[in-house]
Homo-oligomer: A and B are copies of this chain.
Amino acid sequence: MNFTELNLKRESCRAYIEKEVDREISTQIIKEALNAPSACNSQPWKFVLCDGEKANDFTKFIKREGSKINQWTDQVPCFIVLCETKAQLMASLNCNSQKYAQYDAGLAAATICYSARDKGLGTCIIGVFDEAGIKEYLSIPEDVKISLIITLGYPKHEEPRAKMRKDLDDVLSYNNW
């Protein structure tokens, strides 16, 4: 599958079949995430993979009581917790070391989504969660920020939904705004 096809197949997957993700596969996906670019190649990230029995109780940190948000996550066999770690930028940049860390997390997260889809897996990026609860559950240090959580599993539906996107003309221009 070339990237144009992969790009169309990747979607935010919120329905999974009951099937574990082998550690060999989830680890390979993280290996590919490490090859993502980052500002000054600082790689300000650490990935904590939550799978097996530990994943069963993890959902309580991302479902919001009395809301529909993330209720579908009960079926997810594996979660990737993307943490922001201290970046070391070139001194000559003379800026806050974490200035680019969120861009870098996005670069790694996209890599995970494409890598997983290419291997037949689905992903969904989650930005709302009980950060303190997860830190305690996974022994993540107090001073580490959790950037994003990415679900990983085998999709229930093979064919992607139609994509709802802004019109190209509204978000692309040439040589002038």
Whether B127 lies near A100 (C-beta < 8 A) is: yes
A155, chain B: closest CB distance, angstroms: 15
Q: How far is the CA of A104 from the CA of B110 in the complex (A)?
A: 9
Does A133 touch B at the CB level, under 8 Å?
A: no
Q: A4-B118, A115-B3, A165-B43 are in contact. Are A138 and B175 (CB under 8 A)?
A: yes
By a CB distance below 8 angstroms, the chain B residues around A163 are 35
- A80 vs B177: C-alpha distance when bound (angstroms): 12
Q: Which of A104-130 contact B (CB under 8 A)?
A: 104-111, 113-115, 117-119, 125, 127-128
Which listed residue (B23, B108, B110) contacts A36, Cβ 8 A?
Answer: B110
Closest to A1 in B: B2
Contact partners of A6 in chain B: CB under 8 A: 3
The residue that A93 contacts in the complex, of B125, B128, B144, B171, with Cβ under 8 A, is: B128
Q: Are B67 and A92 in contact (CB under 8 A)?
A: yes
Among residues of B, the one whose C-beta sits closest to the C-beta of A109 is B107
Q: What are the 6 closest A-B residue pairs judged by CB atoms, nearest first?
A: A106-B106, A110-B110, A3-B118, A102-B102, A103-B106, A54-B175
